[in-house]
Structure 1
Amino acid sequence: MTDDIARAADTLLRAYETHEPIDPLTPQFADAPLSVAYEIAQAQVQAWEKAGDTVKGHKVGLASRAMQRQAGVTQPDFGQLTSTMFFLEHQPIPARTFIQPRIEPEVAFVLSRPLTGPGVTVAEAAAAVDFVLPALEIVDSRIRDWRIGIFDTVADNASSGGVVLGSRPVQLSDVDLRLAGCTLHVNGDLVGTGAGGAVLGSPLNALVWLANTVGPLGVTLEPGHVVLPGSMTKAVDLRPGDSVVAAVAGLGSVTAVFGQEDK
């Protein structure tokens, strides 16, 4: 199994380099537990770190019913966010970075103290949050045509791609994330609406789930790390030249500009 994990990780790493998606991994690992998929993902993160990248946070994926229905799964997953995944608001994001990108509106937690599960409570999670920001997550799949099951997306680092953070920090106590409504516009057209309550009842619940899920794996959510708790709407296809704005009540807005394809 160790060799199979290494081969799968290498195949996914090559997809990043070649921008050629691969066939689903699920048939090769039909009898494998989900923990094997997380080992495949971790092998890729270790390769990135060896090359000089740095883990800057985590994401919870598939946390809302809308996203679970869209992906055909019934449970959340998580991935790691590295420094090369973060892009500045309003600045063109190179289209060549991605294979088949989609975009999602989220809130982002920025932590002021470590969180280590299991046993983390909502109270402890809230106390660990320094501030929150509106965010746009670019999800991408190295699996051809997004034909993913839960094993595929977990092995593919929870389909992580990129992150754009808003620039106006808000204290957690100043906003009710459960009731915070969200709108998503692409090129001025409204393409999605949602609310924080769509994310496991509250984005804060997703932070608790993450801390208690990664803790037994020896992972601590570190001060300064960004945590994306999950999308408030369905993911929307992203095309070169698109301008995307997410507005979250109480948090303000965040804008992502997707660059044109290189000629």
Structure 2
Amino acid sequence: MTTETATVWSAARVADILLTAERTRTARMSIQAEWPDLDLDIAYTAQDVALADRLSRGEVITGVKLGLTSRAKQRQMGVDVPSVAWLTDAMVLPAGLPVPRAQLIHPRAEPEIAFVLKRPLKGPGVTAAQALAAVDTVVGAIEIIDSRYSGFKFTLADAVADNNSSGVYVTGPVPRRPADLDLGLEACLLEVDGHVIDSATGAAVLGHPAEALAFAANTMGARGHTLEAGWTVLTGGMTDAVAVPEGARVAAHFTSLGSITIAGG
């Protein structure tokens, strides 16, 4: 790469490109394919730049989301670590509303276990047990992810820069205390139009969802961020994400956390 090219690319430019793609609902090719020097440090900085833009437009942070917490997804992507990204109130989908197709490019749904924190959590050094002790309630969730990359083709750094393919998310109606659940065995069936597409348990998420929460606290802590009380933490897809066809109905049925149904819009 020439010095001239290096000066053209920056975390701010990456953030602007991806925010523009989001606003215009225009998918694009991998940024790392164009800029091989895109690494995780730059990608996470791009995330923070994009977050600052969102906050300047009046959005409020509601939590964080994890990606690539499933071992199967890690193998598929050729990585061995998850990633973390931001959630804001603009990404909250109230229960009963359909998928907002008009603001998404190619939505896919994945069921998740989500935590709501009762006290702040900051790494480094947070263990899964310490992370779980900071949890107020556990809820089921469906996240509608929406990559800004054509065909969901991207590298890990691409995904991180794109805020882990953030779209919208809805949380379930049955909050439970962590002590009342066996989260490793909490199961979920994912349905599309009444047909079971996939199933998994909480163990699919790094062996236990609390491990994902600890990873989020430690990764965000290394960047100088604290997971705040009241925030929601989406721990990552339990199953593969499935496309949401127009007019379809997607449902996630959890063992102890109730059911969530979303119309495809």
- What TM-score do you get using the length of structure 1 for normalisation? 0.94
Q: How does 1:106-255 map to 2 (within 5 A)?
A: 106-255=112-261
Kindly indicate whether the alpha-carbon contact (under 8 Å) linking 1:73 and 1:149 is maintained by their aligned counterparts in 2: no
Q: What per-residue deviation string (whole Å, max 9, x for no partner) do you get for residues 14-64 of structure 1? A: 111211111111123313431101111211111010011111000110100
Tell me the SS of whatever aligns to 1:158.
helix
Give the RMSD, CA atoms, in angstroms: 1.4
Tell me the SS of whatever aligns to 1:87.
coil
- In the TM superposition, residue 72 of structure 1 has moved relative to its aligned partner by 4.6
Distance 2:103 2:192 in 1: 20
Distance 2:73 2:155 in 1: 13
Tell me the SS of whatever aligns to 1:126.
helix
Kindly indicate whether the alpha-carbon contact (under 8 Å) linking 2:112 and 2:235 is maintained by their aligned counterparts in 1: yes
Count residues in correspondence: 259
Deviates more, 1:121-130 or 1:180-189: 121-130
Q: What amino acid is the match of 1:61?
A: G
Give runs of ≥4 in structure 1 deviating > 6 Å: none
Percent sequence identity over matched residues? Answer: 44
Deviates more, 1:157-166 or 1:117-126: 117-126
- In the TM superposition, residue 8 of structure 1 has moved relative to its aligned partner by 1.5
Distance 2:178 2:230 in 1: 15
Kindly indicate whether the alpha-carbon contact (under 8 Å) linking 1:70 and 1:234 is maintained by their aligned counterparts in 2: no
Distance 2:64 2:196 in 1: 28
Kindly indicate whether the alpha-carbon contact (under 8 Å) linking 1:166 and 1:255 is maintained by their aligned counterparts in 2: no
Kindly indicate whether the alpha-carbon contact (under 8 Å) linking 1:67 and 1:231 is maintained by their aligned counterparts in 2: no
Q: Which residue of 2 aligns with 1:94?
A: 100
Unaligned runs of 5+ residues in structure 2 are 1-5
Kindly indicate whether the alpha-carbon contact (under 8 Å) linking 1:67 and 1:235 is maintained by their aligned counterparts in 2: no
Unaligned runs of 5+ residues in structure 1 are none
Kindly indicate whether the alpha-carbon contact (under 8 Å) linking 1:138 and 1:163 is maintained by their aligned counterparts in 2: yes
